[in-house]
Amino acid sequence: MSVFGAVAIPRRGTAPSPPARAHVPGEPGLWIVLFGDIAVFTILFVVYLAHRGENAELFAHSQQALNRTFGAVNTLVLLSSSLLIVLAVRAYRSDQRRHLTPRLAIAGMAVGSCFVAIKIVEYHEMVAAGITPSTNEFYMYYFVLTGLHLFHVTVGLIVLLVLVGLARNTSPTLANVAFFEGGACFWHMVDLLWIIIFPLLFLVR
Amino acid sequence: MSNGQAMTRKQLDSLRARQLLTAWSGPVLVVLFFLGLVTFMDFVPPPSPMNSGEVTAALYRDHLLSMRVGIVLCSFAVALLAPWGASIAARTRRTETRFPVFTYTQLGCIGTGLMVAVLCFLIWAIAAFRPDDLAPETTRMLHDLGWFLFLFDVPPFMVWMIAIGLAILMNQSGRQLFPRWAGYFCIWIAVCEAPAVLILFFKTGPFAYNGLVGFWLPTVAFFAWVIVFTWLVIRDVNAEHAEAVVATTSAQPAAAA
């Protein structure tokens, strides 16, 4: 699969395998998307916390209806999936262990998909209990923040699928390795966002 | 790049002029739009979706002339999406010699996006046509319809941005098409546009059509995108022109630069 790149990557010159000085994972431009996305979510978190401060009682009360087990399990799901992808990247960079990459990437994707399944059950439970985004302000933030994040998870899973395809290539080019790293970074960002969203929505008192 | 044929200085200048003309329609669009929507229509920050029909009708009735002038300015502004979009699509076309799918996608999205934007101001124009004669709720419906045309239909715009982004990131033609970060930038802006569809679900708060995420994020992101890409196009056009001029003058040393 020769998606994305090959024209601009090689000019960086250095091999991506050893963590050389000033090595940017993936490629520099990708970080516009990563930091940009984090910035947008940060705005959302600030808005949420500001409104939470104005209406502390309602938020604290509504929070109790959330299923914390689902949230915690989903945190573990994303963390293990991220770990598998880290291992996949390391395997991909090494000539000896490259054959393990497809399996690790598929495992990472499979574990990551559990997040979506659990989220659907969680949403279903809430809607069945009569809780919707218009129930009150807290649930509006709950559904929008988790919904936007779920959208990112879905995009991330598609990216992982591309990585699985890429991993089958036994002699990747520099551009392939860079794309693999970049895709993995996106997945870690999705994980990072959840690690902030989970305590903000489910735990903060 | 002149497709291998030697071009005269005059031809090169004309090539640059037509590209700059289309690229500059971007900033003109932004200025006209700002003048219309902010200065004359006074729609920034947007009126609350919670307003009653009476309050909404008063927005039009009480400032009828400036409302109408603003709507006319904006109607002209959005038409400039076509030349501005063409300035990018034409550069994409050059890198897709065999199957210009991303170019066609851009053209389709420019057409639908422009149509929707024109309709938005046409609907507001009708709201400002005879607000005295209409029931306030009817004016409010037209007013809401305008805001939905303004914000809710981001998908064609997102596809447009992603088409440019992928054209940049997947470019293997050997011909230069914007720096790679610009491709990622397009994708990020497309993501920023997405929450505009949330305006359907809320009438107050950050996700309503006057909210931080419903209005400000997609709108500011869109105009930032127009400015950044205008700059990229102008920069590339000028650089290419300078290069081509050097090439022609070195080929025919008699012609003074």
ipTM of the complex: 0.80
Cβ B191–A8 below 8 Å, yes or no? no
Q: How far is CA A201 from CA A117, A143, A195, B207, B243, in A?
A: 19, 10, 11, 17, 56
| A11 token code pair | 């000019």
The length of chain B in residues reads: 257
pLDDT tens, residue by residue, A173-205: 888 899 999 999 999 999 999 999 999 999 887
- Average confidence (pLDDT) over A67-75: 93
Nearest alpha carbon to residue A31 among A193, A145, A189? A189
Residue identified by tokens 């006319």 is B72
Residues 6+ apart with CB under 8 A from B67: B40, B41, B42, B59, B60, B124, B128
- Average confidence (pLDDT) over A57-69: 90
The answer to whether the beta carbons of residues B250 and B242 sit under 8 Å apart is no
d(CA A87, CA A190): 17
Q: What is the pLDDT of residue A31?
A: 93
Q: What is the pLDDT of residue B82?
A: 97
Q: Calculate what percentage of chain B has a pLDDT beyond 90.
A: 87
CB atoms inside a 10 Å sphere around CB B46: 19
Nearest alpha carbon to residue A94 among A21, A180, A31, A28? A180
Q: Which of A4, A54, A159 to mutate to test the interface with B (most CBs of B within 10 A)?
A: A4
For all residues of chain B together, what is the average pLDDT?
92
Cβ A47–B207 below 8 Å, yes or no? no
Report the range of poorest mean pLDDT among A1-10, A140-149, A164-173, B233-242.
A1-10
pLDDT tens, residue by residue, B211-239: 999 999 999 999 999 999 999 999 999 99
Coil, helix or strand at residue B39: helix
Dihedral pair phi/psi, residue B154, rounded to 5°: -70, -25
| A1 token code pair | 């699969």
Q: Which of B164, B185, B187, B197 to mutate to test the interface with A (most CBs of A within 10 A)?
A: B187
Name the band, by pLDDT with cuts 50, 70 and 90, for residue A13.
very low
A60 touches chain B (CB under 8 A): no
The length of chain A in residues reads: 205
The answer to whether the beta carbons of residues B255 and B9 sit under 8 Å apart is yes
